[in-house]
Protein backbone atom coordinates (compact mmCIF):
# COMPACT_ATOMS: atom_id res chain seq x y z
CA UNK A 1 0.00 0.00 0.00
CA UNK A 2 1.23 3.49 -0.81
CA UNK A 3 2.02 5.62 2.22
CA UNK A 4 -0.54 8.29 3.04
CA UNK A 5 0.35 11.71 4.38
CA UNK A 6 -0.76 12.56 7.91
CA UNK A 7 -3.55 14.76 6.52
CA UNK A 8 -4.72 12.02 4.16
CA UNK A 9 -4.81 9.47 6.99
CA UNK A 10 -6.77 11.88 9.21
CA UNK A 11 -9.11 12.60 6.30
CA UNK A 12 -9.92 8.97 5.47
CA UNK A 13 -10.22 7.95 9.12
CA UNK A 14 -12.69 10.77 9.75
CA UNK A 15 -14.54 10.07 6.50
CA UNK A 16 -15.03 6.39 7.34
CA UNK A 17 -16.36 7.38 10.77
CA UNK A 18 -18.66 10.21 9.67
CA UNK A 19 -19.37 9.80 5.96
CA UNK A 20 -18.94 13.57 5.52
CA UNK A 21 -16.09 14.10 3.04
CA UNK A 22 -15.96 17.91 3.14
CA UNK A 23 -15.97 18.14 6.93
CA UNK A 24 -13.44 15.33 7.14
CA UNK A 25 -11.09 17.29 4.87
CA UNK A 26 -11.46 20.39 7.04
CA UNK A 27 -10.98 18.37 10.24
CA UNK A 28 -7.83 16.85 8.74
CA UNK A 29 -6.34 20.32 8.32
CA UNK A 30 -7.16 21.22 4.74
CA UNK A 31 -8.35 24.81 4.11
CA UNK A 32 -12.13 25.20 4.61
CA UNK A 33 -12.57 26.99 1.27
CA UNK A 34 -11.15 24.02 -0.64
CA UNK A 35 -12.47 21.26 1.61
CA UNK A 36 -15.02 20.00 -0.91
CA UNK A 37 -12.65 19.84 -3.88
CA UNK A 38 -9.84 18.26 -1.85
CA UNK A 39 -12.27 15.69 -0.43
CA UNK A 40 -13.48 14.78 -3.91
CA UNK A 41 -9.90 14.52 -5.15
CA UNK A 42 -8.77 12.44 -2.16
CA UNK A 43 -11.63 9.96 -2.53
CA UNK A 44 -10.41 9.16 -6.06
CA UNK A 45 -6.77 8.44 -5.12
CA UNK A 46 -5.95 4.70 -5.25
CA UNK A 47 -4.01 4.70 -1.96
CA UNK A 48 -6.89 6.38 -0.13
CA UNK A 49 -9.43 4.03 -1.72
CA UNK A 50 -7.35 1.07 -0.52
CA UNK A 51 -7.06 2.51 3.02
CA UNK A 52 -10.82 3.14 3.09
CA UNK A 53 -11.45 -0.51 2.25
CA UNK A 54 -9.09 -1.59 5.04
CA UNK A 55 -10.81 0.63 7.60
CA UNK A 56 -14.28 -0.47 6.52
CA UNK A 57 -13.22 -4.11 6.76
CA UNK A 58 -12.05 -3.52 10.32
CA UNK A 59 -15.34 -1.86 11.20
CA UNK A 60 -17.38 -4.69 9.71
CA UNK A 61 -15.40 -7.40 11.50
CA UNK A 62 -17.61 -9.64 13.67
CA UNK A 63 -14.89 -9.52 16.34
CA UNK A 64 -15.45 -5.79 16.85
CA UNK A 65 -18.51 -4.65 18.77
CA UNK A 66 -20.59 -2.21 16.79
CA UNK A 67 -21.80 1.11 18.19
CA UNK A 68 -25.16 -0.29 19.27
CA UNK A 69 -23.56 -3.17 21.15
CA UNK A 70 -21.04 -0.88 22.90
CA UNK A 71 -23.82 1.51 23.92
CA UNK A 72 -25.87 -1.38 25.28
CA UNK A 73 -22.94 -2.70 27.34
CA UNK A 74 -22.11 0.77 28.69
CA UNK A 75 -25.77 1.27 29.57
CA UNK A 76 -25.83 -2.05 31.41
CA UNK A 77 -22.86 -0.92 33.49
CA UNK A 78 -24.46 2.45 34.20
CA UNK A 79 -27.68 0.76 35.33
CA UNK A 80 -25.76 -1.92 37.27
CA UNK A 81 -27.46 -4.62 35.21
CA UNK A 82 -24.28 -6.64 34.75
CA UNK A 83 -23.78 -9.86 36.69
CA UNK A 84 -20.64 -8.72 38.50
CA UNK A 85 -20.57 -5.76 40.92
CA UNK A 86 -20.04 -2.36 39.30
CA UNK A 87 -17.94 0.28 41.02
CA UNK A 88 -18.70 3.98 40.85
CA UNK A 89 -15.50 4.44 38.81
CA UNK A 90 -16.69 1.91 36.20
CA UNK A 91 -20.09 3.58 36.05
CA UNK A 92 -18.56 7.04 35.53
CA UNK A 93 -16.19 5.62 32.92
CA UNK A 94 -19.11 4.04 31.05
CA UNK A 95 -21.00 7.35 31.11
CA UNK A 96 -17.91 9.14 29.78
CA UNK A 97 -17.54 6.62 26.96
CA UNK A 98 -21.19 6.99 26.00
CA UNK A 99 -20.79 10.76 25.98
CA UNK A 100 -17.81 10.42 23.65
CA UNK A 101 -19.81 8.13 21.34
CA UNK A 102 -22.59 10.68 21.20
CA UNK A 103 -20.13 13.59 20.79
CA UNK A 104 -21.53 15.25 23.91
CA UNK A 105 -18.20 16.90 24.57
CA UNK A 106 -16.35 18.90 21.96
CA UNK A 107 -12.86 17.43 22.14
CA UNK A 108 -11.31 19.93 19.76
CA UNK A 109 -9.15 22.54 21.42
CA UNK A 110 -10.63 26.00 21.51
CA UNK A 111 -8.36 28.98 21.23
CA UNK A 112 -8.32 32.43 19.79
CA UNK A 113 -5.20 33.47 17.93
CA UNK A 114 -5.90 37.17 17.46
CA UNK A 115 -2.53 38.62 18.29
CA UNK A 116 -1.81 42.32 18.33
CA UNK A 117 1.64 43.60 17.50
CA UNK A 118 2.83 47.14 18.10
CA UNK A 119 5.85 47.89 15.93
CA UNK A 120 7.87 51.04 16.40
CA UNK A 121 9.63 52.20 13.25
CA UNK A 122 12.33 54.80 12.83
CA UNK A 123 12.63 55.18 9.06
CA UNK A 124 10.28 55.71 6.15
CA UNK A 125 11.38 52.41 4.57
CA UNK A 126 10.59 50.52 7.79
CA UNK A 127 7.25 52.31 8.06
CA UNK A 128 6.37 51.35 4.48
CA UNK A 129 7.31 47.68 5.09
CA UNK A 130 5.29 47.63 8.32
CA UNK A 131 2.23 48.95 6.49
CA UNK A 132 2.66 46.34 3.76
CA UNK A 133 2.87 43.60 6.37
CA UNK A 134 -0.33 44.92 7.94
CA UNK A 135 -2.10 44.91 4.56
CA UNK A 136 -0.86 41.38 3.93
CA UNK A 137 -2.15 40.16 7.29
CA UNK A 138 -5.51 41.81 6.65
CA UNK A 139 -5.70 40.09 3.26
CA UNK A 140 -4.84 36.74 4.83
CA UNK A 141 -7.64 37.14 7.36
CA UNK A 142 -10.15 38.21 4.68
CA UNK A 143 -9.25 35.50 2.20
CA UNK A 144 -8.37 32.67 4.56
CA UNK A 145 -5.04 32.27 2.74
CA UNK A 146 -2.88 29.42 3.97
CA UNK A 147 0.66 29.69 5.24
CA UNK A 148 3.36 29.58 2.64
CA UNK A 149 1.64 31.92 0.21
CA UNK A 150 4.22 34.59 -0.63
CA UNK A 151 1.97 36.96 -2.54
CA UNK A 152 -1.33 38.43 -1.47
CA UNK A 153 -3.37 40.45 -3.95
CA UNK A 154 -0.32 40.78 -6.21
CA UNK A 155 1.86 42.37 -3.52
CA UNK A 156 5.05 40.58 -2.57
CA UNK A 157 7.05 41.49 0.50
CA UNK A 158 10.51 42.36 -0.67
CA UNK A 159 13.32 44.06 1.21
Closest-CA residue to 15 (of 40, 33, 32)? 40
Highest average pLDDT, of 16-20, 25-29, 73-77, 80-84, comes from 25-29
Q: Which CATH class is domain 6-59?
A: mainly alpha
Distances (CA, A) of 75 to 64, 81, 121: 18, 8, 64
What number of other Cβ atoms are within 10 A of residue 76's Cβ? 14
Q: What is the pLDDT of residues 84-131, one digit of tens each?
A: 776 778 777 777 777 776 666 655 555 556 666 666 667 787 778 778
Q: What is the pLDDT of residues 41-71, one digit of tens each?
A: 999 999 999 999 988 887 777 766 666 777 7
Closest-CA residue to 77 (of 64, 93, 66, 65)? 93
pLDDT of residue 152 exceeding 50: no
Amino acid sequence: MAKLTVKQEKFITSYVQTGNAQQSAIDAGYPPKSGHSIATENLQKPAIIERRKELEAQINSPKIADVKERKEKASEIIRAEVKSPVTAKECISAIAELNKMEHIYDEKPQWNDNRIFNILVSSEKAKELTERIGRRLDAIQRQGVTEGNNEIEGEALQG
